[in-house]
Amino acid sequence: MGERLYEALAKQLLDARHYKKPITCLTAHHPELTLKDAYAIQQAVIQLRQKNGEKVIGYKMGLTSKVKQEQMQIATPVFGILTDSMLMGDTSLLTFNHYVQPKAEPEIAFMIGRDLFGDVSIEEALDACEGISIAIDIIDSSYENFKFSLVDIVADDCSAGSFLLHSRMINPHRYDLANLGVSLFVNDQLVHSGSSSNVLGHPAEALVMLVRMLAERNEALRAGTVVLSGGMTAAITLAPGAHISARIEHLGELSFLVEP
């Protein structure tokens, strides 16, 4: 596999998002693609975004909980890369036609205050955090019907669409994060509930796992980046006019409106 093919496939993925025209999975045409190729295509997607002026600000972990793994039928945790254009501002109004097929899921965000590298414990990972907050991951997919294989999802930057962060950061040691109640509401109706323990037994395990995955490429997780834990409930499909809100015990509530 060469750089040229990675870039051509990355362009197809970004065009699908841009023109709101989902494509068939890359692996349907290129069954030979490996997971390593998939991360290289993801890199190419990010490089194209950077050429458009976007800046990398963090990472998202994906498929870190059983509920998400079962919903997507893929049991391997993965990571994607977040850019500044994905961070939703304070308006909390989501423009539906900016997305192909958006969905939302509650997550925990970790704000990294010190570089992390290699094998770290949960305690070391949390010590390196400046703060944590409740987040909502707005996933979107370049693929028809939001259906894909492991290789396809990694190439598509882990379905990164947008994300919301609560402005209130909490000291990561203030509460035991292992078992916080999580709820997701649509128009004030409870749709999904779960626990922070759904993410790998403890949400900071997602951070530990990311640091290990980056170390395999000889990269550190840098201070100043933000990391999303991965969804703690199944995702919900967004429809125009829907009011979505997520609550995590102790961390607060975050909500947005899908433009009618």
- Cβ partners under 8 Å of residue 213, min gap 6: 79
Q: Does 157 bind Mg ion (CB under 5 A)?
A: no
Number of residues that bind ligand OOG (CB under 6 A): 15
Q: Please select the residue that binds Mg ion; options are 231, 247, 248, 258, rule is CB under 5 A.
A: 231
Q: Is 18 exposed, middle or buried (0-12, 13-18, 19+ CB in 10 A)?
A: exposed
User: Which region, judged by CB under 5 A, interacts with Mg ion, from 10-18, 80-88, 131-139, 165-173?
Assistant: 131-139
Where does residue 197 rank: exposed (0-12), middle (13-18), buried (19+ CB within 10 A)?
middle
SS3 219: coil
Residue 118, burial from CB neighbour count under 10 angstroms (0-12, 13-18, 19+)? exposed
Binding mask 88-117 for ligand OOG (x = CB under 6 A): -----------------x------------
Gyration radius of the chain over CA positions: 17
Q: Are 56 and 81 in contact (CB under 8 A)?
A: yes
Q: Which does 158 bind (CB under 5 to 8 A by kind): Mg ion, ligand OOG, none?
A: ligand OOG
CB of 165 to Mg ion, least distance (A): 13
Q: Considering only residues 230, 244, 251, 258, which one is a binding residue for ligand OOG as defined by CB under 6 A?
A: 230
Instruction: Provide CB contacts within 8 A for 88, sequence distance 6+.
Output: 94, 138, 162, 163, 164, 256
Q: Examine residue 156 and tell whether it contacts Mg ion (CB under 5 A).
A: no
Name the binder of 172 from Mg ion, ligand OOG, none, CB < 5-8 A by kind.
none
137 binds Mg ion, rule: CB under 5 A:
yes
User: DSSP character for 87?
Assistant: B
Looking at the Cβ atoms of 118 and 201, the one nearer to ligand OOG is: 201
Judged by beta carbon, residue 70 or residue 115, the one nearer ligand OOG is 70
Nearer to ligand OOG, 118 or 181 (CB): 181
CB of 197 to ligand OOG, least distance (A): 15
- Say which residue the tokens 């949960």 belong to: 122
Half-sphere exposure of residue 253, counting CA atoms within 13 Å on the CB side?
9
Residues that bind ligand OOG (CB under 6 A): 60, 62-63, 68, 72, 105, 137, 139, 141, 153, 158-159, 230-231, 235
